[in-house]
Amino acid sequence: MKKNPVDWFEIPVTDMDRAVSFYETIFDIKLLRNLLGPLEMAWFPEAKTDSGSAGSLVLYKEYYKPSQDGVLLYFTAPSDDLSNELARVENAGGKILIPRRKISDEFGFMAVVLDTEGNRIALHSRK
């Protein structure tokens, strides 16, 4: 059986409270906050499926720096229509960089946003 090669992701933050508020608001979820030695983390909830990956927000100033220039992480819209999540981005303190647009009939839609920490992330849905 083939598995998704992505196992874990970490999103750098400089203000954990602000970042948690942003992600909880746009995805309508609760993150689980943890202190692991010098790391402050807020874990995304894990779905019990064979697809997708788990991940966390991470605050550790010596090793993590938010950026809009590196890897682009795509989040699947929990509502199945990224228009719903996209509608919450600016009220949560983020910025829409690329509005919702169609990729193709086969792959659906995407948008790119800037989170409150300065990270560029993408949203994806089939609708």
Gap between the Cα atoms of 22 and 45, Å rounded: 15
Q: Does residue 19 belong to any structural domain of this protein?
A: yes
Which pair of structure tokens corresponds to residue 35? 């202190």
Query: What is the average per-residue pLDDT within 73-90?
Result: 96
pTM: 0.89
Give pLDDT tens digits for 31-78.
Answer: 999 999 999 999 998 766 666 678 999 999 999 999 999 899 999 999
Q: Does residue 2 belong to any structural domain of this protein?
A: no
Q: Is the pLDDT of residue 94 over 70?
A: yes
Q: Does residue 24 belong to any structural domain of this protein?
A: yes
- Which domain covers residue 77, as residue numbers? 8-125
Gap between the Cα atoms of 124 and 76, Å rounded: 5
Q: Does residue 3 belong to any structural domain of this protein?
A: no
- In total, how many domains does the chain have? 1
Q: Does residue 1 belong to any structural domain of this protein?
A: no
pLDDT of residue 23: 97
Q: Does residue 47 belong to any structural domain of this protein?
A: yes
Q: Is the pLDDT of residue 118 over 80?
A: yes
Gap between the Cα atoms of 109 and 107, Å rounded: 7
CATH number at residue 47: 3.10.180.10
How far are the Cα atoms of 41, 42, 53, 79 from residue 36, in angstroms, in the given order?
A: 7, 11, 20, 31
Q: Is the pLDDT of residue 3 over 90?
A: no
